[in-house]
């Protein structure tokens, strides 16, 4: 922890900044960002010219940002791999991709300065959640092209904490490490924290014998009920934080120990809430789609990026002393993206994979279920005369191929269930619904 500072605020000069001074800082940084993308990113230069927007002349107030068009996940996917980078590739020292099933991965880059900024922002959210230099942090997010593992890792190291990069899976080993290495902070998805609690119960491990104090959760929507269960079963304080790869990764927003919403790092991101259908800006307190603009990113700045996440902005002052506004817990999605085990899945892309196998797109439906605390993906595929066979062996082979191809594409292994066409759930217009979420029903049956 920085000497002489509030033990729960990492960067008080900025996190407790006067709101008027913050607005001026945001405007200066936004002007610099828009000038940079206008000069260096053909995508934005074309967009700005289409509406006759010249950053040097037309941005005089933060409200002018609303004149600009949105950036979407499809825009980023279509720019694959480097077309939206704002610096030469020689200045990019790290490349990540986002989870999901777009046609192309969404590729993001970081300069050396971006990585320093990222580490500092993650340090802020970890300190807000109670983490200090004396802690031992076990990071169960994946290490690789996704941003979660390395993003948390470098922020924790900046604080001075000891980091255990255990990555995903192997739950029994995770528990042994928690015991033997005296883990004080667990970083995981909320559902995986509960899976750990389930496995500890099965192994007869008393959570009271652990050193665990905090659980820092991210990666998927969760509820206050899940928070209470995590805290009651792991005897630790659980906090929420928010990140999205296209904007930064972890570190965009996070809860303080008041736990009344996630503070947005407003000196680095400008947040808006818009109506998902009309795109009109909604006032604070109204639920809509979160739109983010980066104002310090060098390699991969994004302007008015539609996250697809539904939440609301909370303007009420926080007793913690931070002046940054907060966003509520993520309440759902504005688009058709499905989040399972922290992976973003576009149902239509699953159909593309199935179609490539035999040259025919079968009727299908994705179904999310929950067994215990673990999410499962089931793909129900309708039996058709041309696609499936009378011979059981050949049919099983085709199902295995489907499972393997989809698993390679999305990163998790689904169940493939053959069903009759009429059993697929349809909407009010008679169309097959591509996604059914049965997780709440599964939890209610427990």
Query: What CATH number did the domain enclosing 253 receive?
Result: 3.40.50.12780
Q: Are residues 306 and 419 in the same domain?
A: no
Residue that wins the pLDDT comparison between 167 and 220? 167
Q: Where are the beta strands (DSSP E) in 106-218?
A: 107-110, 136-139, 162-164, 185-188, 214-217
User: Which of 317, 335, 353 represents a domain boundary (last residue)?
Assistant: 335
Same-domain status, 360 and 305 = no
What pLDDT sits at residue 3?
46
The more confident residue out of 362 and 384 is 362
The residue with greater pLDDT, 117 or 437, is: 117
52 domain residue, yes or no: no
What would the pLDDT profile of 158-181 be if each residue is shown by its tens digit?
Answer: 999 999 999 988 999 999 999 999
Any idea what the CATH number is for the domain that residue 413 is in?
3.30.300.30
Tell me: do 294 and 168 sit in the same domain: yes
Is the separation of the CB atoms in 234 and 185 below 8 Å? no
Are 435 and 425 within 8 A, CB to CB? no
Half-sphere exposure of 425 (CA within 13 A, CB side): 10
Q: Using pLDDT thresholds of 50, 70 and 90, give the confidence band for residue 321.
A: very high
**Full domain range(s) for residue 221:** 12-17+82-335
Residue 369 confidence (pLDDT) above 70: yes
- How many structural domains is the chain composed of? 2
Q: Which residue has the higher pLDDT, 391 or 308?
A: 308
In a domain, 223, yes or no: yes
Mark which of 335, 366, 401 sits at the end of a domain.
335
Say what the pLDDT of residue 393 is.
72
For residue 50, is it within any domain? Answer: no
Residue 5 lies in a domain: no
Name which residue leads in pLDDT, 6 or 360. 360
Q: How many CB atoms lie within 10 A of CB 74?
A: 13
236 and 139 inside one domain = yes
Query: Per-residue confidence at 219, pLDDT binned at 50, 70, 90?
Result: confident
Q: What is the pLDDT of residues 382-434, one digit of tens each?
A: 988 776 666 667 788 889 999 999 998 888 899 999 898 889 999 888 889 99
- In terms of domains, do 362 and 222 share one? no
Q: For position 1, what pLDDT does the model report?
A: 42
Q: Are 267 and 249 in contact (CB under 8 A)?
A: no
Asked whether residue 354 is assigned to any structural domain, the reply reads yes
Average model confidence (pLDDT) for the chain? 92
Instruction: Check residues 424 and 332 and name the one with the higher pLDDT.
Output: 424
How far, CA to CA in Å, does 417 sit from each of 365, 393, 402? 10, 15, 10
Q: Is the pLDDT of residue 99 over 80?
A: no
Do 326 and 354 lie in one domain? The reply is no
List phi, psi (to 5°) of 379.
-110, 115
pLDDT at 441: 64
Question: Can you give the pLDDT at residue 330?
Answer: 93
Contact 133, 158 (CB under 8 A): no
Residue 322, in any domain of the structure:
yes
Strand duo 326-327 + 262-264: pairing: antiparallel
Residue written as tokens 């104090």? Answer: 213
293 and 431 fall within a common domain: no
What was the pLDDT predicted at 150?
96
* Percent of the chain at pLDDT exceeding 90: 76
Confidence band for 328, pLDDT divided at 50, 70 and 90: very high
Neighbours of 299 (CB within 10 A): 24
* Whether residues 176 and 254 fall in one domain: yes
130 and 207 share one domain:
yes
**Chain segment 38-54, per-residue pLDDT in tens:** 999 999 999 999 999 99
Q: Is residue 196 part of a domain?
A: yes
Looking at the fold, whether 156 and 263 belong to one and the same domain comes out as yes
Residue 293 has pLDDT above 70, yes or no: yes
The answer to whether residues 204 and 89 belong to one domain is: yes
Name residues whose C-beta falls within 8 Å of residue 288's C-beta, 6 or more positions apart in sequence: 273, 274, 275, 276, 282, 310, 312, 334
Reported as a pLDDT band with limits 50, 70 and 90, residue 333 is confident
Q: What is the pLDDT of residue 326?
A: 98
359-387 average pLDDT score? 88
End-to-end CA distance of the chain: 43
Q: Is residue 53 in a domain? A: no
Please tell me whether residues 194 and 235 are part of one structural domain. Answer: yes
CA-based Rg of the chain, rounded to a whole angstrom?
23
User: What distances in angstroms separate CA 418 from CA 298, 360, 383, one per listed residue?
Assistant: 49, 16, 6
Look at residues 305, 335, 365 and tell me which one is the last residue of a structural domain: 335
């Amino acid at each position: 922890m920085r000497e002489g500072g509030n033990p729960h605020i990492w960067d008080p000069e900025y996190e407790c900044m006067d709101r008027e001074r913050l607005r001026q800082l945001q405007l200066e940084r936004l002007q610099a960002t828009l000038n940079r993308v206008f000069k260096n990113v053909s995508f934005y230069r074309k967009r700005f010219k289409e509406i006759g927007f010249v950053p040097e002349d037309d941005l005089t107030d933060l409200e002018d940002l609303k004149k600009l068009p949105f950036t979407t996940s499809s825009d980023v996917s279509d720019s694959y791999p480097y077309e939206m980078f704002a610096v030469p590739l020689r200045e990019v020292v790290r490349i990540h991709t986002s989870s999901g099933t777009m046609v192309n991965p969404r590729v993001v880059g970081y300069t050396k300065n971006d990585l320093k900024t990222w580490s500092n922002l993650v340090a802020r959210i970890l300190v807000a959640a109670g983490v200090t230099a004396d802690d031992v942090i076990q990071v169960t997010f994946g290490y690789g092209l996704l941003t979660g593992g390395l993003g948390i890792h470098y922020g924790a190291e900046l604080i001075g904490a000891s980091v255990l990069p255990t990555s995903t899976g192997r739950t029994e080993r995770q528990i042994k490490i928690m015991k033997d290495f005296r883990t004080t902070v667990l970083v995981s998805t909320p559902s995986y924290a509960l899976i750990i609690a389930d496995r500890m119960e099965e192994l007869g491990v008393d959570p009271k014998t652990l050193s665990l104090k905090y659980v820092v959760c991210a990666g998927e929507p969760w509820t206050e009920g899940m928070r209470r269960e995590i805290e009651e079963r792991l005897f630790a304080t659980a906090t929420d934080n928010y990140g999205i790869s296209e904007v930064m990764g972890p570190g965009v927003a996070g809860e303080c120990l008041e736990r009344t919403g996630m503070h947005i790092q407003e000196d680095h991101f400008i947040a808006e809430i818009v109506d998902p259908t009309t795109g009109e800006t909604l006032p604070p307190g109204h639920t809509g789609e979160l739109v983010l603009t980066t104002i310090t990113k060098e390699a991969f700045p994004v302007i008015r990026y539609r996250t697809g996440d539904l939440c609301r902005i909370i303007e009420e002052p926080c007793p913690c002393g931070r002046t940054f506004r907060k966003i509520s817990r993520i309440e759902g999605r504005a688009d058709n993206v499905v989040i399972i085990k922290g992976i973003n899945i576009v149902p239509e892309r699953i159909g593309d994979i199935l179609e490539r196998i035999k040259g025919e797109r079968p009727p299908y439906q994705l179904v999310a279920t929950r067994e215990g605390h673990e999410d499962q993906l089931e793909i129900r595929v309708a039996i058709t005369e041309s696609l499936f066979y009378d011979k059981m062996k050949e049919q099983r082979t085709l199902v295995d191929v489907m499972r393997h191809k989809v698993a390679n594409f999305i990163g998790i292994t689904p169940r493939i269930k053959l069903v009759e066409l009429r059993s697929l759930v349809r909407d009010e217009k008679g169309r097959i619904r591509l996604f059914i979420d049965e997780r709440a029903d599964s939890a209610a049956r427990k």
